[in-house]
Protein backbone atom coordinates (compact mmCIF):
# COMPACT_ATOMS: atom_id res chain seq x y z
CA UNK A 1 0.00 0.00 0.00
CA UNK A 2 2.83 2.38 0.68
CA UNK A 3 4.54 1.95 -2.67
CA UNK A 4 2.41 4.62 -4.27
CA UNK A 5 3.93 6.54 -7.14
CA UNK A 6 3.76 10.29 -7.07
CA UNK A 7 4.81 12.68 -9.76
CA UNK A 8 5.16 16.39 -9.06
CA UNK A 9 7.39 18.91 -10.80
CA UNK A 10 10.84 19.44 -9.28
CA UNK A 11 10.26 23.19 -9.18
CA UNK A 12 7.18 25.29 -9.63
CA UNK A 13 6.64 29.01 -9.96
CA UNK A 14 4.65 30.64 -7.19
CA UNK A 15 1.01 31.03 -8.17
CA UNK A 16 1.14 28.45 -10.94
CA UNK A 17 -1.14 25.43 -10.96
CA UNK A 18 1.05 22.35 -11.21
CA UNK A 19 0.15 18.81 -12.15
CA UNK A 20 0.13 16.05 -9.55
CA UNK A 21 -0.07 12.41 -10.50
CA UNK A 22 -0.82 9.80 -7.86
CA UNK A 23 -0.89 6.08 -8.54
CA UNK A 24 -1.93 3.82 -5.68
CA UNK A 25 -1.39 0.08 -6.04
CA UNK A 26 -4.69 -1.31 -4.79
CA UNK A 27 -6.94 -4.04 -6.19
CA UNK A 28 -10.11 -1.91 -5.78
CA UNK A 29 -12.05 -5.16 -5.28
CA UNK A 30 -15.55 -4.27 -6.40
CA UNK A 31 -17.48 -6.85 -4.36
CA UNK A 32 -19.11 -8.22 -7.51
CA UNK A 33 -16.51 -10.87 -8.20
CA UNK A 34 -16.31 -14.50 -7.11
CA UNK A 35 -13.50 -16.88 -6.35
CA UNK A 36 -13.06 -20.13 -8.29
CA UNK A 37 -15.01 -21.84 -5.49
CA UNK A 38 -17.95 -19.54 -6.07
CA UNK A 39 -17.49 -17.56 -2.89
CA UNK A 40 -18.06 -13.84 -3.20
CA UNK A 41 -15.01 -11.65 -2.77
CA UNK A 42 -15.66 -8.92 -0.23
CA UNK A 43 -15.67 -5.36 -1.45
CA UNK A 44 -12.46 -3.52 -0.73
CA UNK A 45 -12.14 -0.18 -2.42
CA UNK A 46 -10.39 3.01 -1.42
CA UNK A 47 -13.04 5.22 0.14
CA UNK A 48 -11.20 8.47 0.39
CA UNK A 49 -7.95 9.99 -0.83
CA UNK A 50 -6.80 13.34 0.46
CA UNK A 51 -3.98 15.62 -0.60
CA UNK A 52 -2.69 18.13 1.94
CA UNK A 53 -0.28 20.86 0.99
CA UNK A 54 1.67 22.17 3.99
CA UNK A 55 -1.16 21.02 6.23
CA UNK A 56 -4.06 22.43 4.18
CA UNK A 57 -6.31 20.03 2.36
CA UNK A 58 -6.21 20.99 -1.31
CA UNK A 59 -7.86 18.01 -2.99
CA UNK A 60 -10.02 15.11 -1.93
CA UNK A 61 -11.30 12.13 -3.89
CA UNK A 62 -14.12 9.79 -2.92
CA UNK A 63 -13.73 6.83 -5.25
CA UNK A 64 -16.10 3.87 -5.52
CA UNK A 65 -15.91 0.44 -7.05
CA UNK A 66 -16.33 2.30 -10.35
CA UNK A 67 -12.70 3.37 -10.24
CA UNK A 68 -10.29 0.97 -11.91
CA UNK A 69 -7.82 -1.17 -10.00
CA UNK A 70 -4.58 0.58 -9.08
CA UNK A 71 -6.20 3.97 -9.34
CA UNK A 72 -4.35 6.78 -11.04
CA UNK A 73 -5.42 10.33 -10.30
CA UNK A 74 -4.17 13.43 -12.01
CA UNK A 75 -5.10 16.83 -10.65
CA UNK A 76 -3.74 20.35 -10.18
CA UNK A 77 -2.61 22.28 -7.13
CA UNK A 78 -1.75 25.97 -6.97
CA UNK A 79 1.83 26.61 -5.76
CA UNK A 80 2.08 28.82 -2.66
CA UNK A 81 5.13 27.97 -0.53
CA UNK A 82 7.88 25.38 -0.69
CA UNK A 83 7.00 22.39 1.40
CA UNK A 84 5.41 19.04 1.25
CA UNK A 85 2.41 17.36 -0.28
CA UNK A 86 1.00 14.58 1.89
CA UNK A 87 -1.35 12.02 0.37
CA UNK A 88 -3.45 9.79 2.60
CA UNK A 89 -6.00 7.14 1.74
CA UNK A 90 -8.11 4.50 3.46
CA UNK A 91 -9.96 1.47 2.17
CA UNK A 92 -12.92 -0.70 3.21
CA UNK A 93 -10.64 -3.21 4.94
CA UNK A 94 -9.60 -0.47 7.35
CA UNK A 95 -6.11 -0.19 5.93
CA UNK A 96 -4.74 3.28 5.46
CA UNK A 97 -1.50 4.60 4.09
CA UNK A 98 0.19 7.80 3.15
CA UNK A 99 2.84 9.11 0.82
CA UNK A 100 4.76 12.37 0.62
CA UNK A 101 6.34 14.54 -2.03
CA UNK A 102 8.66 17.50 -1.60
CA UNK A 103 7.97 20.66 -3.52
CA UNK A 104 10.20 23.63 -4.24
CA UNK A 105 8.48 26.90 -5.11
CA UNK A 106 10.51 29.54 -6.95
CA UNK A 107 9.65 33.15 -7.68
Partner 1 sequence: MNNASRPVPHSPGRRALLVGAAAAPLWAGRAFAQADPEVAAYKAFVGARAVRTERLVLDIPRIADNGNLVPVRIALPGPFAPGAEVKSIHLFSQKNPVPQMAVFHFPVPVGRVEVESRVRLAGTQRVAAVATLADGTLYAATADVIVTVSACIDGT
Cα–Cα separations (whole angstroms), residue 36 to 39, 40, 41, 44: 7, 10, 10, 18
Q: Is 37 in the site for partner 1 (CB under 8 A)?
A: no
Stretch that binds partner 1, among 3-11, 15-23, 81-89, 91-99 (CB under 8 A): 15-23
Burial of 46 (0-12, 13-18, 19+ CB in 10 A): buried
Q: Is 40 in the site for partner 1 (CB under 8 A)?
A: yes
Least Cβ distance, residue 5 to partner 1 (angstroms):
14
Q: Is 17 in the site for partner 1 (CB under 8 A)?
A: yes
Q: Is 54 in the site for partner 1 (CB under 8 A)?
A: no
Listed in sequence order, the residues at least 6 apart from 12 whose beta carbon sits closer than 8 Å to its beta carbon are 18, 79, 103, 104, 105, 106
Least Cβ distance, residue 88 to partner 1 (angstroms):
14
Q: Is 106 in the site for partner 1 (CB under 8 A)?
A: no
> Contact positions toward partner 1, by CB under 8 A?
15-17, 30, 32-34, 40, 56-69, 71-78
Amino acid sequence: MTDARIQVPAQVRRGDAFEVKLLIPHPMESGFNYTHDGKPIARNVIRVVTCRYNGTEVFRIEPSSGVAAHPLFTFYVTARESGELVFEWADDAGASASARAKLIVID
